[in-house]
Amino acid sequence: MTGGPHPMTPAPYRVRSRRPDRADTVTLTLEPVRGDCPPFRPGQFTMLYAPGVGEIAVSISGRARSGGYTQTIRAVGAVSAALCGKRPGDVVGLRGPYGQGWGLRAAAGLDVVVAAGGLGLAPLRPVVRALLRDRPGYGRVSVIAGSRAPGLLLFRRDLACWARQGADVRVIVDHPDHTWRGPVGLVTGLIDRVVFEPRRTYAFVCGPEAMMRKTAAELVRRGVAPGRVELSLERNMKCAVARCGHCQFGPLFVCEDGPVLPYDRVAPMLAVAEL
């Protein structure tokens, strides 16, 4: 475990930069006040502490050129709003990284489908970057990004860059405006349009839980093995070290056993309402 002098003590990190992504979402670049950022695996998260307000789990959306973490936060409550309001030079607390990341090694040599809904693209961003850094190490790479509306789509520059780097990038929105010329509907509506060999495919899926259930089920229907479909679950994390039980999901602690878990392991529990 990494972080402060005690596992539950946040280490001070300074906000190096702040980029508004949309009206309610920002990406912060965070650097430790002392020392270097610990390494992380795509899919892991940190616990971010807004002094005097509280602490929440936030996925790591990338590594900045300066070496700091980039973390993309949507203001949906008091803590996330306080973090979104931080400016360059402000100091926040950080513990981690924690949890299990995406199975990049298991996907080696295979076609890869990355499917994201809304803010779910943030924890998938580092995995796409890793896939494209090692392009010969994988088969076809397809990225499907879904958004409620064109104006809410995240990481537009990244999506364009990934397409130039050889990924098959497709975007779909639920509610188009007058500027939208692309497909309309759900992420599952694009799965039939991307080319992959189901028996030689690995999939990484993140987004709202209903979107993940439907996307995983569709991939399996197409012939992808359930154990090769990974989902990133979101639960109410507090300690992040499998002690408090806030994130318990059946027999699993999402903070330690997840957040990335194979579909064949979690599908029965995802079928239980409010588990």
Q: What integer pLDDT is reported at residue 1 of this predicted model?
A: 44
Q: What integer pLDDT is reported at residue 225 of this predicted model?
A: 98
Tokens of 49: 């502490």
Long-range CB contact pairs, 28-35, < 8 A, 24+: 28/70, 28/71, 28/73, 28/83, 28/86, 29/64, 29/66, 29/68, 29/69, 29/70, 30/68, 30/69, 30/70, 30/71, 30/92, 30/94, 31/66, 31/67, 31/68, 32/68, 32/94, 33/91
Q: pLDDT truncated to tens, each residue of the chain (275 aa)?
A: 444 457 789 999 999 999 999 999 999 999 999 999 999 999 999 999 999 999 999 999 999 998 999 999 999 999 999 999 999 999 999 999 999 999 999 999 999 999 999 999 999 999 999 999 999 999 999 999 999 999 999 999 999 999 999 999 999 999 999 999 999 999 999 999 999 999 999 999 999 999 999 999 999 999 999 999 999 998 888 899 888 989 999 999 999 999 999 999 999 888 876 66
Euclidean distance between CA atoms 158 and 142, whole angstroms: 14
Contact yes or no for 171/110 (Cβ under 8 A): no
Encode pLDDT of 17-34 as tens digits. Answer: 999 999 999 999 999 999
pTM of the model: 0.94
- The torsion defined by the Cα of 274, 42, 108 and 163, in degrees rounded to 10, comes to 100
- Cα dihedral across residues 52, 57, 61, 62: positive or negative: positive
Burial class (CB in 10 A: 0-12, 13-18, 19+), 28: buried
269: left (phi over 0), alpha (psi -120 to 50) or beta: alpha
Q: What integer pLDDT is reported at residue 215 of this predicted model?
A: 97
Residue 251 contacts by C-beta under 8 Å, 6 or more apart in sequence?
Answer: none
Burial 51-81 (b: 16+ CB within 10 A, else e): eeeebbbbbbbbbbeeebbbbbbbbeeebbe
Euclidean distance between CA atoms 38 and 95, whole angstroms: 10
